[in-house]
Structure 1
């Protein structure tokens, strides 16, 4: 029993270490003082009002939403195609392509950012919004392929074979027999890709031009102590949305297993 108690204590300490600092962000976002310290000076909504009234934050938010939506859409289409070919028709190179699609998760983000910066410069795009979208597709693809492939693998192959025996083409088999059964997993993959792209910092740091994303804006404001309360208010809203999206993705993933 003693090793089990040690394990429980370790897990409890790890959870406290991980989540208590996160919980302090919403707490200090209501503090009526610039310094993030105890005791709290008072309760105020001034930082949230400043947040809404700052045009630069709205522009950065729009950039992040546009980039995340584009990256999630492209990622989901690519991941669905790759996962389907890897599980059902299985052409010669399908397993190789599926493996390469999941490989970026093993590569450090700094290396990916530098490599993509060189690539977009050679392609003539330069640091820009399209460059960030392409970079985020690369970052989001491994998790999306894994989620969708797991769902496709759970669908009996006999279903596709029976539809083909009845004269259905590959496209009809995919659209009418396979896709409806995998819709929840595809929705989960889209949500995870959107959330990953929205929060991603390292690749965006290398590929952003004159239009920063929201994480880059937050990073730039951390140099100014007076901006810290507004940043914590913004972080609180981002945390709330991230938790809701992550919960939605998990709900869709569990539904796909039914």
Structure 2
């Protein structure tokens, strides 16, 4: 009984510890002062107006959107192929490829960033947006594979077997029998991959050239105290969009289980 009373207290304390600092960012983004401290001096929208009038932020946002869309598209396509082969046809190397696709999540981001920097330099690409896209595909792939593998594993194998017995080729089985049942999971995997790429910092830090992503721009502005309110306004908008996209991904994931 005592443990039953302590559990809600523990959960409440955990949620406050985890989300209270995050909640302070939108709050201080309206503070009429460059100091993030209580008591607040007043409410203002000046930092949001400054945010919209800063060209560097717009350019960093466009870079992040391009990279996130490209990385999420490639990662979702690769994850769909890998998980389908792992669950249904099951060629000899499919399980090994599936394990390798999920392995980057266990490797520290600094190690991944250094390794990719060496690779893109050897390949002649150098730090650039293309290099970041390739690095983010590696980062996004584990999440996409995990989501899609759970969905493909839930699809009865009898559906694919029945289609094959009726003379359908492997590609037709995938396109006509399996893929329609996995669209919502594919959408969830794409959304999670997009969020992962958009928010990723460590790999982008090593691979960015002269065109920084939005997280890199935010990092560069933290050195200047006068830029802190604008960074908080930007962070508040990113939190809002991320929460909406995360909710969409969860909705699609739950729909895929129906």
Q: CA deviation at 1:242?
A: 0.1
Q: Deviations over 1:76-115 (max 9, x none)?
A: 0000000000000000000000000000111111111111
**1:133-180 deviations in Å (ceiling 9; x for gaps):** 011000000010010010000000010010011111111110011000
The RMSD of aligned alpha carbons is 0.6
Is 1:129 the counterpart of 2:129? The answer is yes
- Runs (4+) of structure 1 exceeding 3 A deviation are none
Shift in Å, 1:185: 0.2
Q: Does 1:170 align with 2:170?
A: yes
Q: Distance in 1 between matches of 2:245 and 2:104?
A: 23
Give 1:8 shift.
Answer: 2.3
Other structure's SS at 1:138 match: helix
The residue number in structure 1 matching 2:27 is: 27
Structure 1 stretches of 5 or more lacking a match?
Answer: none
Aligned position for 2:57: 57
CA displacement 1:48-93 (0-9 Å, x = unmatched): 0000000000000000000000000000000000000000000000
Match of 2:12 in 1: 12
Runs of 5+ consecutive residues of structure 2 not aligned to the other structure: none
Show the 5 A alignment for 1:130-169. 130-169=130-169
* 1:88-99 aligned within 5 A: 88-99=88-99
Shift of 1:5: 2.4
Counterpart-to-counterpart distance in 2, 1:5 and 1:182: 42
**Cα-to-partner distance string for 1:204-238 (whole Å, 9 max, x where unaligned):** 00100000000000000000000000000000000
- Following the alignment from structure 2 to structure 1, what is the Cα–Cα distance between the partners of residues 195 and 165? 40
**TM-fit CA distance, 1:6:** 2.5
1:257 maps to 257
Residues 231-242 of structure 1 mapped to structure 2, 5 A cutoff: 231-242=231-242
Give the structure-1-normalised TM-score.
0.99
Structure 2: distance between partners of 1:178 and 1:249: 20
SS class of match (2:182)? helix
* Aligned residue number for residue 80 of structure 2: 80
Residue 219 (structure 1) aligned with residue 219 (structure 2)? yes
In 1, Cα distance between equivalents of 2:132 and 2:176:
34
Question: Residue 179 of structure 1 aligns to a residue in which SS?
Answer: helix
Q: Which residue does 2:2 correspond to in 1? A: 2
Distance across 2 between alignment mates of 1:35 and 1:229: 8
Per-residue deviation, 1:12: 1.1
- Equivalent residue of 1:3, what SS? helix
Q: Distance in 2 between matches of 1:3 and 1:142?
A: 36
